[in-house]
Amino acid sequence: MSTAWGHHQPADLTLKPGEPYYVIADKKLIIREQQISDNEGTFKNAKKVIYQGKYTFGMNLTLQDGNLETKHKHRFYRKTGETLTGKIETLNLQPLAEQMRKVHMGSFKKTEETAATDPRKCEGQPWFQDLTDSPQGIKNGDWIYYQKLGGKVTSIGKNYQYKTVFLHEDTVPEDFRACRDSDQPCPRCALFGMTDERDNVPGLKGRFKASTLVNAEKLNDSCGDNESTITLKEGEPHRPNFRVWKKIAENVEVARQLFLPIQGTPKPNKRDDPDSAYYLKKLGMIAGAKEYIHTSLTMASLVKLIEKVDRYRTLKDVFGASIKAEVQKLEYSHDLRAYAHVAKEGLEFTGTLGAENCSPEEVAALTLLLEHNLSGHGFKIGLGKSFGLGSVISRIDKIRIRRKTDYTWHTLHSAEGSPVAMLIQEHHDIGAALETLSVAAHLKNLNRTEGSGDRRPLPLPPDGYWKKFSKGILPRE
């Protein structure tokens, strides 16, 4: 139990670390002045606590009473009788130089509101901590934050933020980790290739090849019209210039550069965050592959959204009066927005994909993903996927197969009918594999794009994550 009292320590009481005291604490576990005693009978219904020491907080616990306008002076704790055990990632205990090579927690920067009461002189330096046995490191009796998953302590830190340090590969369940032995590859590694982590053992060369996808239209680009004026932090209002791409023959716009709204940064470094959807709450293992929903977003609706975002000046413009008054006046950080080259819906690209020495099951799996009409499957690529950008579907126009009998190439072309239908008709083993995959249970959960129940509106983010950010401003059906 972390507690503190106000400005004055009782004059007749000298606090000693590790010694028991009897206190009255409020609902927030705050002990007010004159509510602590070394005598059990001083207060009715008093709680027994142990004195830890002076209240410190922040990076490496370097801040104390008076810094950042805090009024806490002392910290106490209460023993529960539970012994905590676990396996601490060695990264937690490595020297700063080694930590800096492997993890980055962001650069420290003072805020305008707290700069006057913040004595730290590490502006612009990365957030790292020292848990070694150095003089600045961890010592017996230090206050430590910890993360517990699956009943075991997995990492520790000198402040709440840094207790989450871990290696992301440790969050992947054993059965889903990357293959490390090329003699026993999974179906995916067997097709796309892999490296072998054993000494002096070559990896496995992939059998998949792909060309660049290109659009055959001849385009010209120019500076587009933009009436919006935005204000970047520490800068004057200005009007961004964007490029526009049009077909030369028809003078029709097919793509433009846009200044996207702020996208909520994922929180994969917060393994025990109750609002995070990345990790299973009790085990801390990754919940599964990320899925982006396909939406009915169009270039026109996106431009309207961006024009509205360009007018934001404060967080009140975004969230309205529902947020705290002191937060409403904070600037909307236009400098956190990203530029994107956005293609208009319906634009087509072509290319060639190929695979060598494939089994019927491998050909069937590739066909199922690449031929949209078989499963309604769609892909997500590029920036702004959470806003509905990047939805791509594909179709197969031509199939070329090298026959096993004479090693000559045989072409199935869409001009003669559906190349996929011809493939199934001529190669029954591939057709059988396709049928098996088509009825597999996992196919129901593929990232589908069509059908009354498949094209869904963009959902609101979970509670506690960009609260109410998208309510009323994102395009919906």
Residues 98, 162, single domain; the answer is yes
Residues 25, 125, single domain; the answer is no
Q: Is residue 12 part of a domain?
A: no
Q: Is residue 158 part of a domain?
A: yes
H or E, element range at 411: strand 409-413
pLDDT the model gives residue 232: 55
Count structural domains, the chain.
Answer: 3
Residue-wise pLDDT tens digits, 271-311: 766 666 777 777 778 877 777 777 778 888 888 888 888 88
Does residue 384 have a pLDDT over 70? yes
Q: Is residue 394 part of a domain?
A: no
Range of the domain at 67: 20-77
* Alpha helical stretches, state H, 193-298: none
- Please compute the mean of the pLDDT values over residues 158-184 and round it to a whole number: 75
Residues 95, 44, single domain; the answer is no
Q: Is residue 272 part of a domain?
A: yes
Residues 73, 114, single domain; the answer is no
Does residue 476 have a pLDDT over 50? no
Residues 228, 334, single domain; the answer is yes
Query: Higher pLDDT residue, 11 or 432?
Result: 432
Specify whether the CB–CB gap between 151 and 95 falls below 8 A: no
Residue-wise pLDDT tens digits, 102-150: 665 566 777 777 777 788 777 777 666 777 777 777 788 788 888 887 7
Specify whether the CB–CB gap between 358 and 207 falls below 8 A: yes
Q: Is residue 336 part of a domain?
A: yes
Residue-wise pLDDT tens digits, 214-237: 988 888 877 766 555 565 555 555
Residues 316, 236, single domain; the answer is yes
Phi–psi pair at 211, nearest 5 degrees: -95, 170
Q: Is residue 159 part of a domain?
A: yes
Residues 326, 255, single domain; the answer is yes
Residues 224, 330, single domain; the answer is yes
Q: Compute, in degrees rounded to 10, the torsion defined by CA atoms 189, 193, 196, 201.
A: 130
Residues 62, 110, single domain; the answer is no
Residues 73, 94, single domain; the answer is no
pLDDT the model gives residue 60: 66
Residues 51, 148, single domain; the answer is no
Query: Higher pLDDT residue, 171 or 273?
Result: 171
Q: Is residue 372 part of a domain?
A: no
Residues 66, 109, single domain; the answer is no
Tell me the pLDDT band of 322, cut-offs 50, 70 and 90. confident
Phi–psi pair at 327, nearest 5 degrees: -90, -30
Tell me the pLDDT band of 163, cut-offs 50, 70 and 90. low
Q: Is residue 426 part of a domain?
A: no
